A and B are shown apart, each in its own frame.
Chain A
Amino acid sequence: EPEVTQTPSHQVTQMGQEVILRCVPISNHLYFYWYRQILGQKVEFLVSFYNNEISEKSEIFDDQFSVERPDGSNFTLKIRSTKLEDSAMYFCASGRDHRTSGSSTDTQYFGPGTRLTVL
């Protein structure tokens, strides 16, 4: 069964450094998402991406964040200058298979996450 993959599983960085979190969404999916989960809290939406552009973003997704789909398979989240409060699990998700687009579910499937620790 196809699945979303993410690398690395754990990233440790110094405050102020840039990090790039990588995701390979499920092939044939059209929509891509980044969420984050601070330890012990609920999952929060960051950004959605469709047709090579951002379709929606949250207040968390400020100008320190950016997303890119550099090729046909990868989807990346970049944090330009990390802050202590960026420490969290970052989840990538994908959805809406173009072969069944418009179906009632359009389920979002999540990757295993990248644990980002900012020191």
Chain B
Amino acid sequence: GESVGLHLPTLSVQEGDNSIINCAYSNSASDYFIWYKQESGKGPQFIIDIRSNMDKRQGQRVTVLLNKTVKHLSLQIAATQPGDSAVYFCAEKKNSWGKLQFGAGTQVVVTP
């Protein structure tokens, strides 16, 4: 069936560098794409989302890019900090109140 998946299971980043986490999706009907951060022992924490009619959205130190042509989503974290170490999930949904379909997750490890 259609799914959302991640390219890299683990990303090691030096503190202060920028991080890029990638995600591929296959459901063309999805209208919303979301990034969540999950720290060990905690629930997913919303980071940023983007709707299908946009290709870029910026937040505080984070930017989400959406390329509908190749069905690709990415999360950029500027000046990565130790507190950014976590598993990052991309997720999609067909409408604003619909179920979230999560990808497999990428472990980001920030090294000093």
B96 and A106 within 8 A (CB) = yes
Does A42 contact B49, Cβ atoms closer than 8 Å? no
> What total of chain A residues lie within 8 Å of the partner, measured CB to CB?
30
* Interface flag for A65 (CB, 8 Å): no
The number of chain B residues touching the other chain, given as a range, is 20 to 34
Q: Does A91 contact B105, Cβ atoms closer than 8 Å? A: no
Determine whether B83 belongs to the interface, using a CB cutoff of 8 Å to chain A: no
Q: Is B51 an interface residue (CB 8 A)?
A: yes
- Least CB distance from B26 to A in Å reads 15
Q: Which of B41, B49, B51, B89 contacts A43 (CB 8 A)?
A: B89
B residues near A (Cβ < 8 Å) are 34, 36, 41-46, 49, 51, 89, 91, 96-105
The contact sample of 25 A-B pairs, CB cut-off 8 A, is A33-B100, A41-B104, A42-B102, A42-B103, A43-B44, A43-B89, A43-B100, A44-B102, A45-B99, A48-B97, A48-B98, A56-B99, A91-B43, A91-B44, A93-B100, A95-B97, A106-B96, A106-B97, A107-B49, A110-B36, A110-B45, A110-B46, A111-B43, A112-B42, A113-B43
